[in-house]
Homo-oligomer: A and B are copies of this chain.
Amino acid sequence: MRVAVIRKAHFNAAHRLHNPTWSEQRNQEVFGLCNNPNWHGHNYELEVKVRGEIDPETGMVVDLGWLAHLIKEQVELRFDHKNLNLDTAEFKNLNPTAENIVVVIWNILRAQLPESLDLHVRLYETPRNFVEYPA
């Protein structure tokens, strides 16, 4: 009886899409408005899904309070109200596209979860654009 448990969270951040090895022109062609040197930002909505067996004693796959606390400590405190490019170690040298952010968050949480739990992360950059990892 393997069940998936999903917890939603969110954080607000500024970012800029940019490849420093490219010319300014190519950056603008590829990233358009997202390349604005003065930054723009988003309300990122996060869905963290863990899959595992129901513990027969508790009836739960994972303690949701623990999971919510883990997401707060590891993701929200790290990224909320931050400039992803300037304020975080993770995106100093990594372009903060939604795709790269979702993989970074997956890696951060994966390192904190017991091996018995599978992990899947969905990240909304806007209500109409979102990403999932693993695909």
Contacts and interface: CB of A to CB of B under 8 A. Distances in A.
Interface string A1-28: 1111111111011110101000000000
A90 interface: no
Say how many copies of this protein the assembly contains: 6
A112 interface: no
A51 B8 contact: no
Interface of A: 1-10, 12-15, 17, 19, 30-34, 36, 38-43, 45, 49, 51-52, 54, 57-61, 63-65, 80-83, 86-87, 94-100, 102-103, 118, 126-135
A77 B58 CA distance: 25
Contact of A15 (B5, B41, B45): B41
